[in-house]
Amino acid sequence: MPSRRRLLLSAGLLPLAIAAGRRAGADDADDPWPDIKASLFADRPIQDGAGILALEAPKRAYDAAIVPITVTAAIAQSDARYIQAVHLIVDKNPAPVAGVFHFTVESGTATFATRVRVNEYTNIRAIAEMNDGALFMAAAFVKAAGGCSAPALKDAEKAMASLGKMKLKAPDSVILDRPNQAQLLISHPNFSGMQFDQISRNYIPAHFVQDIRIRYADRVIMTVEGNISLSEDPTVYFSFVPHGPGEIAVDVTDSEGMKFSQAWPVSPVPAS
C-alpha cells in the first residue's frame, strides 16, 4: 500500500507531516484539507459525491470521543462499477485519516457506519474511490472537541480483561443473494497516545486497532485500516451478500501486533 498513506495513518508521524505542509503557506494554517488532499491523492480530481455517496454525522456531538458516522452508498456494487475504498477523514484530528474502508463486489453495497473521535470543530469527509480510480467526496461539519484526549475506559479493569473480544450482530434472518447489514464490535481501548499519565509523567502509549479483515465464506467482504481516530471499542456496520451458508470470519491486528480472530456461522434463507 502506498507508503505515503501509511505515513499519514501512523499517528506518531502525522503531526510532522501536516506541520511541514502548513509551513508552506500561511493561509493554509487554518485549513488542513489542502495538505491532506495533496498527500493522499496528489492532483487527482475529486468530484462532488452526489449520486455516489452521502455522509451523515451529528452537527453537534454529545460525546466527542464517540461520534457516529454513516456513509451511505447510492450505487450498488457491481462487477462493472463499484466503490473499492472510502477514505474517512477528520480534517482537524492529529491523525486525520480515521480509516480507510475497502470494499469488494461481495460487499453488495459500500454503505457502512462507524464511530470516530473528534478533537476540534472540523469537516469530516468521506472520499469514495471507484474501481476505475475516480474520486467522489461527501462532507459534513461536526462541532465537537477533545475527543482524542478525553478520559478513556469507564471501567478500566473490564476493558483490559476483554481486550480483543468481539461481537457480531446480524439480523435474525439473513437473506440469500441480497445485501444484509451486520455490525462488528471489537472490545479495545484504542488508546490515542494523547492522554498524559499524571503519575508516571508519560503519555499512555497509543495502542489501537490497525487492521480489520472481514470475510464471508472465505471471500473478503471488507477490510479496514484504522488508527487512533476510531473510537474506543471500534465498531463497523457493514454489508455482505451470502450465496449460501458460511461463516463471517473476522481477523484483527492492532498496533502492538496483537491478533484476534473470531468467526460466526450464518445460515441464510431465501427471500420470501
CA-nearest of 234, 103, 115, 216 to 170 is 216
Min separation Cβ 204 and other proteins, Å: 7
For position 116 contacting other proteins by CB under 8 A, the verdict is no
Q: Which amino acid is at 156?
A: A
Q: Rounded to 10 degrees, what is the CA torsion of 5, 60, 63, 229?
A: 0
Strand partners, 225: 100, 211
Question: Binder to other proteins among 151, 257, 265, 270 (CB under 8 A)?
Answer: 151
Contacts of residue 16, Cβ cutoff 8 Å, sequence gap at least 6: none
Q: Write out the three cell numbers for 97.
A: 485519516
For position 79 contacting other proteins by CB under 8 A, the verdict is no
Q: For other proteins, what does the binding mask look like between residues 173 and 212, x meaning CB under 8 A? A: ----------x-x-x-------xxxxxx---x--------
- Number of chain residues interacting with other proteins (CB under 8 A): 36
Pair 209, 201: CB distance under 8 Å: no
- Across 82-227, the runs of DSSP E, i.e. the strands, are 83-90, 97-103, 112-116, 122-130, 135-142, 166-169, 180-186, 196-197, 202-203, 209-216, 219-226
Q: For residues 176 and 269, give the distance between their C-alpha atoms in angstroms, rounded to a whole number.
A: 5
Smaller CB distance to other proteins: residue 104 or 235?
235
For position 59 contacting other proteins by CB under 8 A, the verdict is no
The dihedral sign for the CA sequence 130, 131, 133, 134: negative
For position 171 contacting other proteins by CB under 8 A, the verdict is yes
Min separation Cβ 66 and other proteins, Å: 5
Options 18-26, 40-48, 57-65, 119-127: segment touching other proteins (CB under 8 A): 57-65
For position 71 contacting other proteins by CB under 8 A, the verdict is no
Place of cell 488542513: 32
For position 227 contacting other proteins by CB under 8 A, the verdict is no
Min separation Cβ 236 and other proteins, Å: 13
Question: Binder to other proteins among 28, 63, 211, 247 (CB under 8 A)?
Answer: 63
For position 143 contacting other proteins by CB under 8 A, the verdict is no
3-state SS, residue 218 = coil
Min separation Cβ 47 and other proteins, Å: 27
Place of cell 451511505: 72
Tell me which residues touch other proteins (CB under 8 A): 56, 58, 62-63, 66, 68, 70, 113, 115, 146, 149-158, 167, 169, 171, 183, 185, 187, 195-200, 204, 233, 235, 237
